[in-house]
Structures are given as structure tokens and as C-alpha cells.
Amino acid sequence: MQVDEFLAPRILIVSGKGGVGKTTVAAALALVAARSGRTVCIAEVDRKGTLPRMFRAGTLTYQPREMSPGVWGMNIVPEDALAEYLDVQYHMRRISRIFTSTQFVDYITTAAPGLKDILTLGKIWYLEQDRGARFDTIVVDAPAAGHMLTFLSAPMGLSDALRVGPVRRQAEWLLDMLRDPARSRVHLVTLPEEMPVAETLETTAQLGTKVGVASGAVFANGVYSPLLSTPERETLVDLVATGDLTILATEAKGAGLTLDEDDMQALVGYARFLEARRSIQTTHLRKLKKGVDEPIVELPFLFSAGLELPDIETLADVIEDEVADL
């Protein structure tokens, strides 16, 4: 698949369980889009501040801001979206400011829980319609998977509740946007572990039936690359079984490196650790592949505990390669 084809739907909704690297993947997808010459906006839906830190940009607000060339960031705040809506729709700028600044919005959104979601989706729609905006691609760093389904179902609830009127019509615009695979795709992020995979299987099953939004790819994050070839692994296993690792020290010495017993134990220990983690991951990747129809993009485990722009660039490279193979 060409990257252009992958990015043809302009709205990329990225979701997954907490802690799986949703924001990282959203950022990497944005870089892929920016590299292809697109101007892209990443919209944070549930403020957490991870995204601007990755780009070393300050706190994001409702006003999009360029974080790196071609990559903009914003934070969709439902209160701001409501103020903007009232302003555009009813020319109620001053009044709406008064009300949206009070707790009142909290009550109204509690009374109609889908309203916050509608307002957020409405803003995304507004960005997509290009009215005064300028984004070729909109990456939505969506709420965690469970909430994401509720989030995306909100317009359905509204269009069911209201039979007529302008709001009902607007709810249908949102549904049209979400249900058109040429306009929106949901990309799920997961880890090759028990809970995240189980949740991904549930979510993909519900996306189509409950929400009617087309899915894009499933990103399996943090996958360890294999280290040893099969014969090498066998050699190592035999070595460990004999309990004598001197051959490693001998080889090292030949290259001018001195290894003591602790060093050799660490070498073997980390190789075994990697193998153990990989075998857990392989099991869950297999379950994932069996359980979903979506193409799976494997992203490598990055040996860095804090994610910075170079790491995101690395992931963007991998996504470009893997998308080409889809």
C-alpha cells in the first residue's frame, strides 16, 4: 500500500488501552503524514500533556500551534468547542463566554453525557471542513479504548434522541463523517500482552457493529526484535547447560576485551530475558493476528525509557516501511 493511500482518509483516530503508547503512535503517524508533504494537526482529546513534551512544545490549547515543521498540535476542550459553536451558530459570543466559564457546562454535559463528545467530534468535523483551517490530515489522540466507543457513538445517541431540528442535522453530519471509510479511520494501538490484546479484540469487534466506523491498522507496540539465530540459540542453551561460559571470555579476549564472570552472567541473563519476553509477546501476537481482520503493524521496542522526537522519527520510519508492505 502506498502511504498516500493509507493517508487518504483525512481523519485518523488513534486509540487503545491506557499505557500502550497511543500518543507515541499518534505522533509517529503525524510525522509520516508531514513527511509526505501534508500539513497535519494532532488533536489531544483528553488533556494529558504527553504530546507537547515529545515535541518539546509548551502546553497545547484550543488554538492549533505548529510544534515542528508541518505538525500542529491542539487540545480540544469541550467548553471552548461549545463557545465556538454558540458563536458560529447563534452569534452568542459574549453570552456563551459567561456560561461556558461556569460549572454550568459540567451539569449540562452530565445531564446529556454524550454532549462533550459531540462537541469534540463537532470540532474535528469543523477542522475537516476546512473552514478557516488548513489541515490535510487530522490525527485524533482519542480517549482510551473503552471510552472511545462511547465517544464515537455519541452522535448516534443524539440523532436518536432528537427527531428534527438543526442539531439533529448536525449529528447526522458527524455520523456521515465517521461512517465514511474514505474520510475517517480508527487505528488501534496495543501491546503484545494479555490485557491489551484481549481489549483490542473486544474493541475491533465492537467498532464495526456498535459504531460503524471503519478501522485502519492495529499497531502492536514495543515488540522485541529477535536476537539470535536458531543455531546460535542452541549453542547458548548448550553453553548454559554445561555451566561453563569461558568460551565467551576466550572469544572476547581474541577481540581485545576482558570479560569477568559477572559480565558473562549478564550477557547470558539478558539474552534469556529477551527470549522470555519474546515468547510471551509471540503468544499474544499470534492471538492478535488470529483475532482481528485488520492489518497489523509491529513497532519495535525502543531501548529508551523516555520518548523524544528521534524515537518518534524511528517509529515513523518503521510505519512507512510496514505500510508499504500492507
Partner 1 sequence: MNPIEEIVARKQVIVCAGSGGVGKTTTAAAIALQAAVMGRKTVVLTIDPAKRLASSLGLKDLSNEPSKVAPRKFQSASLKPKGELHAMMLDTKSTFDEVVMQYAPSREQAERIIANRFYKNISGTLSGTQEYMAMEKLYELHAQGAYDLLVIDTPPTRNALDFLDAPKRMNDFFESKVLRWFLMPYMKAGGGLMRVANVAATTFLKVVKRIVGGDVLEDTAEFFGNLEGMYEGFKQRARDVAALLRSDETAFVIVTSPSEDSVREATFFAARLNEEKLPFGALVVNRVHPKLGDGIDVKPRHLSKLEKGGKDARMLAKLLDNEEAFMRVVNLEEKNLDSLSRKVPRHKWVRVPYLEREAVDFPGLVAIADQLFGAPDTHVASH
Distance CA(204)–CA(27), nearest Å, equals 22
Distance CA(246)–CA(251), nearest Å, equals 9
Q: Please report the sign of the dihedral spanned by the C-alpha atoms of residue 167, residue 43, residue 199, residue 287.
A: positive
- Least CB distance from residue 133 to partner 1, whole Å? 23
DSSP labels, 63-77: S-EEEETTEEEEE--
CB 260 within 8 A of CB 213: no
- Least CB distance from residue 89 to partner 1, whole Å? 8
Distance CA(61)–CA(202), nearest Å, equals 33
Q: What angle do CA 224, 225, 228 make, to 5 degrees?
A: 120
Q: Contact positions toward partner 1, by CB under 8 A?
A: 17-20, 46, 48, 50, 86, 90, 92, 95-96, 98-99, 102-104, 106-108, 110-113, 115, 144, 150, 161-162, 165-167, 193-195, 198, 227-228, 231-232, 235-236, 247-248, 251-252, 254-257, 259, 262-263, 265-271, 273-274, 276-277, 280, 303-307
Distance CA(176)–CA(33), nearest Å, equals 24
How many Cα atoms within 13 Å fall on the side-chain side of residue 70? Answer: 15
- Least CB distance from residue 255 to partner 1, whole Å? 4
- Least CB distance from residue 313 to partner 1, whole Å? 18
- Least CB distance from residue 207 to partner 1, whole Å? 20
Closest to partner 1 by CB, 33 or 149: 149
Burial of 110 (0-12, 13-18, 19+ CB in 10 A): exposed
Closest to partner 1 by CB, 8 or 276: 276
Distance CA(319)–CA(48), nearest Å, equals 24
- Least CB distance from residue 119 to partner 1, whole Å? 10
- Least CB distance from residue 174 to partner 1, whole Å? 14
Closest to partner 1 by CB, 183 or 233: 233
Closest to partner 1 by CB, 259 or 297: 259
Estimate to the nearest angstrom the gap between the alpha carbon of 180 and the chain centroid: 20
Distance CA(96)–CA(169), nearest Å, equals 22
Report CA Rg, the chain.
Answer: 24
> From residue 45, how far is each of 31, 97, 246, 313 by CA, in Å?
19, 21, 56, 23
- Least CB distance from residue 171 to partner 1, whole Å? 10
Burial of 102 (0-12, 13-18, 19+ CB in 10 A): exposed
